[in-house]
Structure 1
Amino acid sequence: MAATLAVVLVGIGDPQLGTDELVTWDVAGRGTGRITALVRNVDAVHAAYYLLMHGWTAVFGDSHLALRTPSAIAMSGAAACVALIGARLFGRRAGLCGGLLFALIPAVSRFGQEARGYALVVLAATLATYLLLRALDRPRSGWRWTGYALCVAVVGLLHLVALTVVLGHVALLVFRFVRRERGGLWGFGLAVAAGAACVLPVVVLGRAQASRQLFWLPAPGVWGLVEIWPQVFASALCAGAVITLAALAWKEAREGLVLCLAVALLPPLVLWAASHGAVSYFRFQYVLFTVPAWAVAAGAGLAAATRGSRTAPASRTAPAPRTSRMSLPLRASWLPVAVGLAVLALLVLPDQRRMRGAFEHDVPHAADYAGAARTIEKYHRPGDAVVYVRGAPWMLDQGVRYYLRRDLPLREVFLAATAAENNELYPTHCGRPEACLRDESRIWVVVPGNVPDSLDAVPVQQARALRAKYTAYGAEHLSGLTVTLLQRKP
């Protein structure tokens, strides 16, 4: 936990907020009634996360660190679950190796530093796996099955697609059934049914909203089953190393391997098959919860590969040194593990640095919202207004507003109703733009991309109204966007 939290907190405030994070900030700042009204129209699958972040930001604020800390804590908790699962399935050494490997995976840093619910999904899905193992230890314990059922419900409330983790759990129960270990079947069935029943309203709303939210995702080809893994790990090199280490565990406990491989492979396969219908669900963020299963298996592989690496036992005639509570043979036995972890850390270091790039959370737009806010603040005069040109998936208005000083008055010229007032993610604009202009002497125009004339990127009717009364005074081209100042014609 400490290692993962330390790695994730390094540079957590460096990347600017991405599109999804800006949505989190915007929705979390609304009242609970507004959030409830929003999820009836869109984003029902994120309702639980929005409500959680609403309470969190009310207490801790909305800085980069405040918005992203829940994800950092969640990834740290997931690391603990990885170590506990590994210890139960393959031994304490394997558990520790798996937990430390998990901390080094670049995707853990990437989504542990994002103000979105994916890290919480990773924690909930991994905790559900751990609670399942505990329940199978005492299959007659109603409390243990209740804990598992609640965790399954949390997984579904955070993200419906993550419920596919239960397929891996089913595979474990089938494996035990074949081996005539039939305890827990009824408890498992009742727990899954109870957990699924808790998320039924989200299932109904989510299915109705799926085509609107995921229309842009294409149906995956066969090669997508291979291409997804470098994306899941946020590093092709790390994906290869972790999968190779997992392969080294092939001689370890069969039950543990079945569980790890089922949780790691079945959800992507099922989502790939389901994505050839009306809606595609095949997106690497949606199967991020499989990373802990890979880490557990890789930890077992690393432990197995280094288990025989020990120095010769100390001579019986020579007194044992008393300078350390750890004997030299035991200390030496961990040396190959430390070397392996150090090598992996060096291999993924370039990817870890990339995860902390200024625009890594806004790929491919790389919009410099903070730079736009600095430009407006530097040259701002009382009475200035602003025009934001936006459209899915751009969040120029929210992005610039986040980085602007909260006490800077800027009327949005063509705004008819805010996204919050619409119970939507997007605002609405004036039907007659010329009627929305007042007597502002200067108007800032923020548009996506670097264009010679910003008004060319403005909707036609709005541009016509602006050209009639204003002329460009100056422009600044930043990464991913252009900021132009218009001055009223004499």
Structure 2
Amino acid sequence: MSHVRALLRSVWLGPALVMLLVGLLRTAHPELWRDEISSWSAATRDLGALVGMLENVDASNGVYYVLLHFWTTLFGDSVLSLRMPSALAMAGAAAFTALTARRLFDSRTAGLAAGLLPATVPLVSRFAQEVRTYALVTCAVAAACCLLLRALERPGAGRWSLYALAMALAGCCHLISLSSLAGQLVLVLAHWWGRRREPGAARVLWQFPLAVLAVLLAAAPVAVYGGRQVGRQLGWVPRPSVHDLQYFWHDLLGSPREMQVFAALALLALLHPRFTRGAVQALLLGTLPVLLVWLASQGSGSYFTNRYLLFTVPALAMAAGGGVAAVAGLLGHLTARPLAVTAALSLIAVPLVLGAPRQQQQRALLAHADRDFAGAAAVIAAGYQPGDGLVTAAGDQAWAMVEPGVTFYLPASVRPVPMFVERDATRAQDLYAVPCPVAQRCVGDAPRTWLVTIGTGDDPYEGLPDGQTEALRYAFVLTDTRRLPGMTVSLLVRKA
């Protein structure tokens, strides 16, 4: 019973449960969007096919895909199952945030507040409900910060190994997270400076670099393969301006008002003599990676987007948690301590209320998606006949993942035959299928075919390669067209 009571009193349990609840709230309701469909497509291949794909594309997400592969093997590939690892990972991030803040500020109130604050950030709960690697990376970086502090307090091979393992997981899942090493270096230097006159204090100055070296060696294969694919993977990210840097935290934390709440609480921590040191360290943990990535993005490739830097939110929450503890300390001079702590923790309701509209909005049916894959699948399933064909936006529009997106939502008994496909994505060892070079030769003999294109314009063939359009017009007659959010579904019947 003593272990149970200790668990219930722990600073991390409440934040973890709250974050898990927020992450699971209506998690299966929003449709999967194209990036999540990419994760599903990759993870549900056999392991050999997945490795073959990673040699050509998306190596930077390879570790996540492999982990998701084993997860879906055990628990299936429903929307809830696919998103569950992200919800669990973000709950873990909240737990480690609470533990780290408690150590940084030597305050249970700071730890509890810091652990609860991420759940108020709309972007955090969004990626707690997404089949991508960002929640796992956030958890791994938060764990690494906590384990680093433990290693600094009592250095040992086991503790340094755990830190390196957590940081290696973060780096292998997303190389951008290695920028967090800059903020962690601050923790190391602050610890060494505070104990520099103690015997053996200088050991951390070689132990930390050795652990970082192990992290970099572990992430090196991902960096090599990912570097070869960077043009294809990141060509869509624009070079950031000074304006983008200035307003980055508005976007990251939800809105200017939510950012101002975090900033005000962090300022209170900075001004409190007991918490200044911890607040400075937490703020550097949260801001140095952003500055480094912004600078790196001024070169030939850009990496500056909010979800890539989601792992900095726990550090910002730590700084704000210190501010909550500072308020509790001030109120403690006016009233009983339990009442002061409760009143201070109620400040967390401010960003929660400010972010509530976005929290609700991002749980709508098409909150993640700009194309209604499930709606298109429902139209096809309602009119399906065995032997039907399927033509979807491909080629220059393959990035939209229309064919796998629609297929995911089709019942198992509804399987129209893809047309104009020379090799499917699995055989091509890619996320995208290879289209037939000569469309006329790949029309096949299907009596009917379903056509799914991007957009809702007057032309249902819009966006198809000219050869495919000509082949379809020659062999089929358009009999029905349905326009859905972001998509058009048409039924073509072969000419007599």
Q: Is the TM-score greater than 0.5?
A: yes
Deviations 1:376-404 (A, max 9, x none): 11111222111001325311111100100
Q: 2:142 aligns with which of 116, 126, 136?
A: 126
Contact 2:324 2:345 (8 Å CA) reproduced:
no
Q: What fraction of aligned residue pairs are identical, expressed as a percent?
A: 39
> Matches of 2:48 and 2:277 in 1, distance apart?
47
Offset at 1:89?
Answer: 1.2
Contact 1:121 1:158 (8 Å CA) reproduced:
yes
What is the match of residue 12 of structure 2? none
Offset at 1:179?
Answer: 4.2
Aligned length: 471
Please list, as runs of the form range in 1=range in 2, the aligned pairs for 1:79-158 lying within 5 A after superposition: 79-90=94-105, 91-139=107-155, 141-158=156-173
> Matches of 2:334 and 2:183 in 1, distance apart?
42
> Matches of 1:341 and 1:230 in 2, distance apart?
18
2:33 counterpart of 1:18: yes
Q: Gaps spanning 5+ residues in structure 2: where? A: 1-15
Q: Do the aligned partners of residues 53 and 287 (structure 1) sit closer, same or farther apart at CA in structure 2, a change above 3 Å counting?
A: same
> Matches of 2:238 and 2:493 in 1, distance apart?
44
Deviates more, 1:167-176 or 1:125-134: 167-176
2:232 counterpart of 1:232: no
> Matches of 2:420 and 2:290 in 1, distance apart?
44
Offset at 1:265?
Answer: 0.8
SS where residue 492 of structure 2 aligns? strand
Q: Do the aligned partners of residues 392 and 377 (structure 1) sit closer, same or farther apart at CA in structure 2, a change above 3 Å counting?
A: closer
**Segments of 4+ moved more than 6 angstroms:** none
Q: 1:456 aligns with which of 440, 459, 462?
A: 462
> Matches of 1:119 and 1:236 in 2, distance apart?
23
Offset at 1:337?
Answer: 2.5
Please list, as runs of the form range in 1=range in 2, the aligned pairs for 1:363-442 lying within 5 A after superposition: 366-390=370-394, 391-442=397-448
Q: Do the aligned partners of residues 343 and 180 (structure 1) sit closer, same or farther apart at CA in structure 2, a change above 3 Å counting?
A: closer
Deviates more, 1:205-214 or 1:92-101: 205-214
Deviations 1:183-232 (A, max 9, x none): 41121111111121112111111222112211121111111112322332
Offset at 1:451?
Answer: 1.7
Corresponding letter in the other structure for 2:279: L
What is the match of residue 323 of structure 1? none
Offset at 1:436?
Answer: 1.2
Contact 1:121 1:289 (8 Å CA) reproduced:
yes
Deviations 1:53-77 (A, max 9, x none): 0000011111111000000000001
Please list, as runs of the form range in 1=range in 2, the aligned pairs for 1:19-418 lying within 5 A after superposition: 19-90=34-105, 91-139=107-155, 141-179=156-194, 181=196, 182-183=201-202, 184-250=204-270, 251=272, 252-310=274-332, 329-362=336-369, 366-390=370-394, 391-418=397-424
> Matches of 1:270 and 1:456 in 2, distance apart?
42
Q: Do the aligned partners of residues 255 and 337 (structure 1) sit closer, same or farther apart at CA in structure 2, a change above 3 Å counting?
A: closer
Contact 1:414 1:429 (8 Å CA) reproduced:
yes
Contact 2:19 2:91 (8 Å CA) reproduced:
yes
Q: 1:446 aligns with which of 436, 452, 456?
A: 452
Contact 2:175 2:223 (8 Å CA) reproduced:
yes
Offset at 1:407?
Answer: 1.9
Offset at 1:177?
Answer: 4.2
Contact 2:152 2:188 (8 Å CA) reproduced:
no
What is the match of residue 489 of structure 2? 483
SS where residue 153 of structure 1 aligns? helix
Contact 1:417 1:427 (8 Å CA) reproduced:
yes
Offset at 1:254?
Answer: 3.9
Deviations 1:310-364 (A, max 9, x none): 4867xxxxxxxxxxxxxxx3442233224312233222110111221222222xx
SS where residue 420 of structure 1 aligns? coil
What is the alpha-carbon root mean square deviation over aligned residues?
Answer: 1.6
Corresponding letter in the other structure for 1:370: A
Deviations 1:150-206 (A, max 9, x none): 122111111111011111011222334444534411211111111211121111112
> Matches of 1:236 and 1:381 in 2, distance apart?
53
Deviates more, 1:29-38 or 1:433-442: 433-442
> Matches of 2:447 and 2:257 in 1, distance apart?
55
Deviates more, 1:55-64 or 1:237-246: 237-246
Contact 1:172 1:258 (8 Å CA) reproduced:
no
Q: Do the aligned partners of residues 331 and 482 (structure 1) sit closer, same or farther apart at CA in structure 2, a change above 3 Å counting?
A: same
> Matches of 1:50 and 1:88 in 2, distance apart?
34
Offset at 1:258?
Answer: 3.0
Q: Do the aligned partners of residues 393 and 432 (structure 1) sit closer, same or farther apart at CA in structure 2, a change above 3 Å counting?
A: closer
> Matches of 2:30 and 2:174 in 1, distance apart?
24
SS where residue 491 of structure 2 aligns? strand
Corresponding letter in the other structure for 1:94: A
